[in-house]
Amino acid sequence: MKIVIGTGPGDEVVAAWREEFPDVEFVPASTDEEQLLEVEDADGYIGRISRDAFRGAGPRLRWVHSTGAGIETLAAIPELVESDVTVTNTRGGHAATIAEHTFGLLLTLTRRLHDLHDNQRQHVWGRGAVRGAMTAVTGSTMVIVGLGNIGRAIARRAVGFEMRVIGVDVRPVEPPPGVEAVWGPDRLDEALGQADVLAIATPLTTETRGMIDARRIGLLKPQSYLLCISRGGIVDEPALIEALRAGRLAGAGLDVQATEPMAPDDPLWDAPNLVLTPHCSGASRQTTKLVWQLTTDNVRRFVTGQPLMNVCDPRAGF
C-alpha cells in the first residue's frame, strides 16, 4: 500500500506512521511534479490534491484526505466528484480555535479594542471618545449560518455571553443546548432581520457563494455586526464595504476574503470599522495537534480496512 503525503505533518508524525505500519509506503510529495509522479500508483492521498494530480492518479487511488475542514477545492474537481474515491476531512479539529477567533473579532469591534490599541501606540489616553462607541453583546441576538462543528462551537460561546442564538442550516438538526431554534435556508431572510450579530460558518458551495449579497446585508438591523470565518466568496465584499461606509453596519470582521492573499489595493483594507485577519482563525498549537490526531486515526482506519471518519460528500461540497 502507498500513501502520498501532499501536505506534510512533520517528520515526527510520518516516522510514527512508518513505525506503526511498516508495510505501508508513505511518500512525501511537496511539489506539483512530485505529486504527479507519485500519485500514479498511490492508494491514498493526504492533502488537497490538485486536479492535474487527481487526473494522473491510477486506478488504485481510493482515498483523499483534506487536512482542513473545507473541501471546496476538491469539490471543484469534476473527475473526483464523479469518481468513487472517498473524501474525508478534519472537521472538528479547528472548531474551538475558530470560535475563539470569532469572538475575538466581535469583541474587538464592540469594545473598540482596535481604537484603543491605536491610542496606545500614539500615547493618547482617549478614554472619552472610545467609551461612547462601546457596546455590549450580552442580551443581543446572534444568528449563526452553518451549524456544523464550528457553528456549534460559536453557539456555545455565544450562550456563555448570554446572547440569544438562532441557527440557520441546510440540514434539519436539533437545536444545540442554549440555541433557541435552527431554521432552514428558506427562513434566512427572516433570521437576518433579527440579527444584532451575523456569524457565517457555512461551507462555500454553489448554494452559498454570494449568499450574503447587497439585498441580504440590507436586511440586517442597523448597527449590527457581520462576521465571516468560513470562506471568502459567501459575502458580497463591495456591498459590505458600501454598507460600512454608509454607517448601516456597526462593524464587520473577516478572517476570509474572496481573493487570498489580498492585493495591496484591495478596497477592503480601508473600509471603516472592518477588522481583517489573514485566514488564520484555525491556527493554534492545539489545532495542529488535533488535525494530525484526526488524520492519524483515518490513516489507521484506511490501512486496517475500517470505516473512515469524517466522510464528505463532494457533490454537496462538505
CB of 74 closer than 8 Å to CB of 33: no
Structure-block grid coordinates of residue 286 = 492545539
Interatomic CA distance for residues 26 and 10, integer angstroms: 12
Distance between CA atoms of residues 312 and 66, nearest Å: 10
Kindly report the backbone phi and psi dihedral angles of residue 268, in degrees, each rounded to the nearest multiple of 5, phi listed first.
Answer: -60, -35
Looking at residue 8, its pLDDT comes to 77
Closest CA to 313 of 146, 72, 49: 72
| Sheet order of strands, 141-145 included | 181-183, 164-168, 141-145, 197-200, 224-228, 249-254, 274-276
Give the burial string for 123-148 (b: 16+ CB within 10 Å, else e).
eeeeeeebeeeeeebeebbbbbbbbb
Q: Which of 20, 162, 207, 260 is catalytic?
A: 260
Q: Provide the pLDDT for residue 108.
A: 98
Whether 117 is catalytic is no
Q: Which of these is catalytic: 94, 101, 216, 231?
A: 231
Concerning whether 231 is annotated as a catalytic residue, the answer is: yes
What is the chain's pLDDT, residue by residue, as a tens digit (318 residues)? 999 999 878 889 999 999 999 999 999 998 999 999 999 999 999 999 999 999 999 999 999 999 998 899 999 999 999 999 999 999 999 999 999 999 999 999 999 999 999 999 999 998 888 998 999 999 999 999 999 999 999 999 999 999 999 999 999 989 999 999 999 999 999 999 999 999 999 999 999 999 999 999 999 999 999 999 999 999 999 999 999 999 999 999 999 999 999 999 999 999 999 999 999 999 999 999 999 999 999 999 999 999 999 999 999 989
What's residue 111's pLDDT?
Answer: 97
Q: Which three cell numbers stand for residue 2?
A: 502507498
Looking at the domain that runs over 95-276, which CATH code has it been given?
Answer: 3.40.50.720
Residue pair 183/166 in contact by the 8 Å Cβ criterion: yes
Q: Are 208 and 72 in contact (CB under 8 A)?
A: no
What order do you get walking across the sheet with 44-46 strand by strand? 25-28, 2-5, 44-46, 63-65, 86-88
State the amino acid at position 66 in one-letter form.
S
Backbone angles phi, psi at 3, to 5 degrees: -125, 120
Q: From CA 114, how far away is CA 117, in angstroms rounded?
A: 5
**DSSP SS3 for 254:** strand
Q: What integer pLDDT is reported at residue 129 of this predicted model?
A: 84
Q: How far is CA 189 from the centre of its chain?
A: 22
Q: Are 46 and 88 in contact (CB under 8 A)?
A: no
Residue 190 annotated as catalytic: no
Residue type, 297: D
- In contact, 63 and 88? CB cutoff 8 Å: yes
| Domain 2-93+285-304 grouped into CATH 3.40.50.720 | yes
Q: What is the pTM of this model?
A: 0.92
User: And the C-alpha cell for 261?
Assistant: 492573499
Residue 9 has a pLDDT of 87
Q: What's the pLDDT score for residue 45?
A: 98
User: Where are the domains positioned within the chain?
Assistant: 2-93+285-304, 95-276
